[in-house]
Structure 1
Amino acid sequence: MSAEIRAWVKEYEQKLRAEARTEGHREGLNEGRAEEAARAVLTALRVRGIAVPDVARERILAEKDPDTLERWLERAIVAGSLAEVLDGLS
């Protein structure tokens, strides 16, 4: 393999590693944001005096979709019950 090709391969590998680090960083940020949003939902429910059973708490903390978490937070601020907050809660 020529020196030119080795240099290109090395540069390409470095680029791939940098992209992987950037993607990992982005995923970490998104996970952190989802966790904070879930905790905000739980805080709103706690402040409003709405009991949250363990199964519902786990469901809220496991949710990663920002739109769903935002919808739940909006509902938690005005809801009278947990069933009014979470979609499909039986």
Structure 2
Amino acid sequence: MHPLVLGPDNVPVITDIGEAARDLGMAAFSVLTHSDSREAPALLEAPARALRTTDEKTVSYYGDLVDVGLADLRARQKWRDLMAFVTHFPGRGTLREEAYLEGRAEGQAKMVLRTLDLRSVAVSDEVRARITECADLDVLDTWFNRAFNATEAEDLFVDTDTSATPSSSVNTGK
């Protein structure tokens, strides 16, 4: 058995976009191996531009591999700036983003309920369902802030219930 050890001596410096596109794996290793060299800007640019021509799954795989593997914080930030075109970044509405936002909403809903519980505020099944089914982070944030002063769980919904204020444009999180 012979272990393969990658390092500056046996990983090429890939700064050509065409070469990076032909071998994205080696281009990623090139970035990770040489990111602290003076060629770093071109090293980062080549695979980032090459990834623009490939499918979302490949972009996600190599984009994340490089992002996680970069130890140099300046290089990592530059990589993230170059990868801003990737559809899984916020505001693009992809499955990955939706799962991320859903997780954040679930976490925020748990914090609202936990705050009410710690304050011994009774929560009906109907209120619990409304909170846990809400996916609007702004609404959940409002409810979380209100949970600190609420004497009843329904106090969370004051001014966010559109049935009480038909002209309101506030998302109720229903």
TM range (shorter): 0.7 to 0.9
Q: Percent identity?
A: 32
Tell me the equivalent position of 1:59. Answer: 130
Which residue identity is paired with 2:55?
K
Q: Counterparts of 1:34-53 in structure 2 under 5 Å?
A: 34-53=105-124
Q: Which structure would you say has the larger Rg? A: 2
1:15 maps onto 2:55 in alignment: yes
Q: Structure 1, residues 46-73: CA drift from partner, whole Å, max 9, x if none?
A: 0011110111101100000000000000
> Which residue, 13, 17, 25 being the options, matches 2:96?
25
Unaligned runs of 5+ in 1: 1-10
Counting matched residue pairs gives: 79
1:68 maps onto 2:139 in alignment: yes
In the TM superposition, structure 1's runs of 4+ consecutive aligned residues that sit over 4 Å from their partners are 16-19
Displacement, 1:16? 5.4
Write the distance in 1 (CA, Å) between the matches of 2:142 and 2:122: 19
Displacement, 1:76? 0.2
Write the distance in 2 (CA, Å) between the matches of 1:15 and 1:85: 44
Write the distance in 2 (CA, Å) between the matches of 1:80 and 1:16: 48
Aligned CA RMSD, in angstroms, stands at: 2.6
